[in-house]
Structure 1
Amino acid sequence: MTTVQYCRSAILPTAIALLLSACTSSQTPPAEKPERIGRAQDFYELPQAYQAGTYRHMDELFFTRTVHRGPQVSPLPTRSEVAVQYEVDGQRLDVDAFMKRNQVSGLLIIKDGKVALEKYAMGNDANTRWTSFSVVKSISSTLVGAAVQQGKIASVNDPLTRYLPQLKGGAYDGVSVEQVLQMSSGVSWDETYRDPKSDRRRMFELQLANNPGALLKQMANLKPAHKPGTAFNYSTGESHLQSELIHAATGMTASDYLSERIWARLGMERDAFWQLDSRAGQEIGSSGLSATLRDYGRFGQFILDDGVINGERILPAGWLQRATRATPGSHLEPGKLYDGEYALGYGYQWWLFPTGAAALPNHDGGVFEAQGIFGQFLYINPAEKVIAVVWSTWPKPEMDEREMETYAFIGAAVNALR
């Protein structure tokens, strides 16, 4: 019989008031509630109560590989905490309101290499590893840059099939590495997350089926839709080819290459882990990396530092200038990606903010970001030397009003840090 049961059964009603404090102090503390972790097959339709627990325990649902950190941890000093007030829907709101309204579970803002704001919610803390969703697309493209710097990939102008001959004879014939980085291959792809018949969902089903090499075969069987280099089409499948390319060019897994070139050298706090297409298989180059909030921030600082670690150039000189700019007049310029008024452009798997008169408030000057569904952001503002990392559990994969509110909040933080 537990202490709690004893207190409930042994005390007469007339004595409860006298003995309540003694009973309460001696009772066994209630057990912690177990994590609510959803099923892998329900990943895109999880009830909100299951999102946070699932997003921090992806290694319990999918095959993964470790991205090892190094022996030393790079310091991430703090500065005075910035007070942020932003405006939305005719209201002036603070940090706590932003997090509550947008189901934000982690928020980090770095200015001049120092943490200016760090907050957690929904059971997360500094040790939590949270899934990136499509934020990892930009990390994968950075690994391509590292391979170019090492000479493992001769040029982004090379045909992709030089490194992935499995794609010869299909829609990727004549497509360059750069066109893949820019999602401009011209290959047909349906990204709709909640359509069971879409190419994205087919890719997810193949991952769950644990069939080695199935994702690359899926890509080899796609059809052309446009001339390469003329049209943007957002494709998680195409981003996965970055991982396949890294493996083919370097002879290393993407996890090991990320560890060797960046993660260990940069002094990350924790190992990360990366989802695979099958047991002991290939990393999903477009999704599925899990790391801590501060380690995502450190990666952002590496990008802000032009891809140099302790004086060693990891990325080619000029790589980030090319990766985070669109050629003027091209189909990748901000405002030209989609019909309508969507403001962002696209680089080497980085989203590009508009500049000049079209700029969003406080985001002018070559700002770019990595972004994942359900509200994940890695924002980099080179002119202001600001990095922002946001983790969220939005109820839908894509929510324009939440995205714009996130930009409003980050913009207000940039302004407050000036």
Structure 2
Amino acid sequence: MVFIFSSCKVGRFIIYNFADIKDYKKFPSRSVEKGTTSFYFSKTEENKIPKEIEVNNAVLPFESYLEENETVAFMVIQNDTILYENYWDNYSESSIVPSFSMAKSVTSILIGCAIDEGYIKSVDEPITNYIPELIESGFEKVTIEHVLQMTSGVKFDEGYFNPFGDVATFYYGTNLRKAVRKMKLKAEPGQKFEYISGNTQLLGLILERAIKNQTVSSYLEEKLWQPLEMEYEASWSLDRKKNGLEKTFCCINARARDYAKIGRLYLNKGNWNGKQIVSESWVERSTKVDKTNGSAWYYQYQWWLPTQTGDFMAQGILGQFIYVNPKNNLIIVRLGKKSGSVDWWTLFTDLSKFY
């Protein structure tokens, strides 16, 4: 009875009951293999981290504060050196943690790679060049840039507690291609920013069709996982096992140190030890403040901008973060079971001043 019930979207939502740090075990996935060599950050002998933090006029031990707010991994890297690395609750450097929406930023990198290689002509192309089924729904005016900027005007319920909503369909459903075909518009594109996961799944389908004879996972392997010399293999969760599509709005499953290398790539403007992985212009456009055409200054090409001073980050539900501060040559990775009661944006920007 449970097996039959769990096969439908609503049943899976009720059984699994909201996103969880172990969700990578619940869904089929494609493997993403590492290469023959691995890049390792240097490491200091002693952890360099503030001993205390002031929160609501109370001074608390910093490490205890991280642990009490359900952090499982926390890393600080500066000048390619790990200044601090710690794990809690039986997690370690080899523990898998789902990216959740940090995958949106990775999807953006892959779109940039596809443009560099000519698979995609330009962000100014209408998405119907790749998803012609949406012509009937009036998507001809929606460009790839609109989708990247979350200004597409797509109608999508981002509510995480509604088993009948769009997020449940995309996260727990078993046919993302069908779900994409059913998408509708509620507003003219280029008018207003609205963060919705449906935009990034559109990017995923565009990417799959642009690269043609590859899966999104194999493209991740080719363009990022192996060139960035990841320490561990990874995986990308799918909607279904047979002919599945990657959940590009979420669901890369990897380790803290390898997430940090995504940050290092963008810290170095798309260059990895002398090899340009994705064009510098793409990195700059993805992390530059832009308030035009309905764009929100704090969100560019699937990356969050916590301030207007050059820092940027990938962010996922439950408090998964890759924070990059180019001025201080700093990368922070935080992974957790929950976000806790922490204002992580402020914590990262304040912590960056310590180094």
**Common fold: TM-score over 0.5:** yes
Deviation at 1:372, TM superposition (A): 0.8
CA contact (8 A) 1:86 1:408 kept: no
CA contact (8 A) 1:171 1:220 kept: no
- 1:65–1:329 CA distance, 2 compared to 1 (3 A): closer
Deviation at 1:173, TM superposition (A): 2.3
CA contact (8 A) 1:67 1:259 kept: yes
1:44-193 to 2 correspondences below 5 Å: 44-45=17-18, 51-52=20-21, 54-55=22-23, 58=24, 60-79=25-44, 80-84=46-50, 85-193=52-160
> Secondary structure of the equivalent of 1:296?
helix
Task: Provide the aligned length of Structure 1 versus Structure 2.
Answer: 340
CA distance in 2, matches of 1:346, 1:307: 19
CA contact (8 A) 1:129 1:290 kept: yes
CA offset digits 1:339-380 (Å, max 9, x no partner): xxxxxx21000111233xxxxxxxxx2111111111111111
Deviation at 1:44, TM superposition (A): 4.1
User: Given the alignment, which residue of 10, 16, 21 partners 1:43?
Assistant: 16
Equivalent residue for 1:294? Answer: 257
User: Given the alignment, which residue of 272, 282, 290 partners 1:319?
Assistant: 282
User: Given the alignment, which residue of 374, 379, 382 partners 2:323?
Assistant: 379
Deviation at 1:416, TM superposition (A): 1.8
Equivalent residue for 2:192? Answer: 231
Please tell me whether residue 217 in structure 1 is matched to residue 178 in structure 2. yes
CA offset digits 1:125-159 (Å, max 9, x no partner): 11111101101000011100011111111111111
Deviation at 1:99, TM superposition (A): 1.6
> Secondary structure of the equivalent of 1:116?
strand
Equivalent residue for 1:354? Answer: 307
Question: What's the Cα RMSD here?
Answer: 1.9
CA contact (8 A) 1:189 1:233 kept: no
- 1:173–1:216 CA distance, 2 compared to 1 (3 A): farther
CA distance in 2, matches of 1:248, 1:149: 16
Deviation at 1:276, TM superposition (A): 0.6
Equivalent residue for 2:223? Answer: 261
What 5-or-longer segments of structure 1 have no aligned partner? 1-38, 208-213, 335-344, 356-364
Please tell me whether residue 407 in structure 1 is matched to residue 345 in structure 2. yes
> Secondary structure of the equivalent of 1:277?
coil
Equivalent residue for 1:36? Answer: none
> Secondary structure of the equivalent of 1:388?
strand
CA offset digits 1:214-264 (Å, max 9, x no partner): 322222222211111111121112211222122111121111001111110
CA contact (8 A) 1:237 1:286 kept: yes
Query: Normalized against structure 1, the TM-score is what?
Result: 0.77
CA distance in 1, matches of 2:91, 2:151: 37
The alignment-based identity, stated in percent, is 30
CA distance in 2, matches of 1:300, 1:382: 10
Deviation at 1:187, TM superposition (A): 1.1
Equivalent residue for 2:169? Answer: 202
CA distance in 2, matches of 1:409, 1:253: 37
> Secondary structure of the equivalent of 1:110?
strand
CA distance in 2, matches of 1:329, 1:206: 35
> Secondary structure of the equivalent of 1:383?
helix
Equivalent residue for 2:295? Answer: 332
CA distance in 2, matches of 1:348, 1:242: 11
CA distance in 1, matches of 2:220, 2:351: 31
Higher relative contact order (CA 8 A, sep 6+): 2
CA contact (8 A) 1:216 1:241 kept: no
Structure 1, 90-99 or 156-165: larger mean CA deviation: 90-99
- 1:92–1:155 CA distance, 2 compared to 1 (3 A): same
CA distance in 1, matches of 2:350, 2:302: 25
Deviation at 1:163, TM superposition (A): 1.7
CA contact (8 A) 1:40 1:61 kept: no
CA radius of gyration, larger in: 1
CA offset digits 1:20-40 (Å, max 9, x no partner): xxxxxxxxxxxxxxxxxxx96
CA distance in 1, matches of 2:334, 2:36: 27
What 5-or-longer segments of structure 2 have no aligned partner? 1-10
- 1:408–1:371 CA distance, 2 compared to 1 (3 A): same
Equivalent residue for 1:11? Answer: none
CA contact (8 A) 2:176 2:245 kept: no
CA offset digits 1:184-230 (Å, max 9, x no partner): 111111100011222111223423xxxxxx32222222221111111
Please tell me whether residue 369 in structure 1 is matched to residue 313 in structure 2. yes
CA distance in 2, matches of 1:43, 1:384: 41
> Secondary structure of the equivalent of 1:147?
helix
CA contact (8 A) 1:63 1:279 kept: yes
Equivalent residue for 1:18? Answer: none
CA distance in 2, matches of 1:172, 1:215: 18
> Secondary structure of the equivalent of 2:327?
coil
CA contact (8 A) 2:193 2:296 kept: no
Query: Normalized against structure 2, the TM-score is what?
Result: 0.90
User: Given the alignment, which residue of 309, 315, 337 partners 2:272?
Assistant: 309
Deviation at 1:329, TM superposition (A): 5.3
Equivalent residue for 1:245? Answer: 206
